[in-house]
Amino acid sequence: MSKIFKVEALVASPPTSKCQEMIGVLEELVRRHPDELQLLVFRRGIDLFPDEATEGMKCMMQKNTSVPACAVNGMFFSSRVVPKLEELETRVQDVFRTYKMTGS
């Protein structure tokens, strides 16, 4: 697979313990798929609509989504709770499967 998918986190500034826990889970997910995933971490109130953010993450920032929050491939995944690695893995596999079937 030649496409790199974004896994994005929106965290407090400074990050809370929950925010740091979520970043750790997302880092583990990216370690499992280093050639397919890229982790981007944005800080609420500091990183305002960065160019590298997906439209989904920009929307989450604009709507003041509760932190910590994350998105996979630009689609909202969780807010206020640290997602389980297995749930994220399932979402990532769905994204990979969809990309292979449609090529986009």
Q: What's the pLDDT tens digit per position in 30-81?
A: 999 999 999 999 999 888 778 999 999 999 998 889 999 999 999 999 999 9
* pTM of the predicted protein model: 0.91
* Averaged pLDDT, 71-100: 95
- Angstrom distance (rounded) from CA 94 to CA 41: 22
- Residue 56 backbone phi and psi in degrees, to 5: -60, -45
Q: Is the dihedral of CA 19, 67, 41, 85 positive or negative?
A: positive
Residue 104 has pLDDT above 70, yes or no: no
pLDDT band with cut points at 50, 70 and 90 for residue 1: low
CATH of domain 5-102: 3.40.30.10
- Listed by start position, the domains of the chain span 5-102
Burial class (CB in 10 A: 0-12, 13-18, 19+), 68: buried
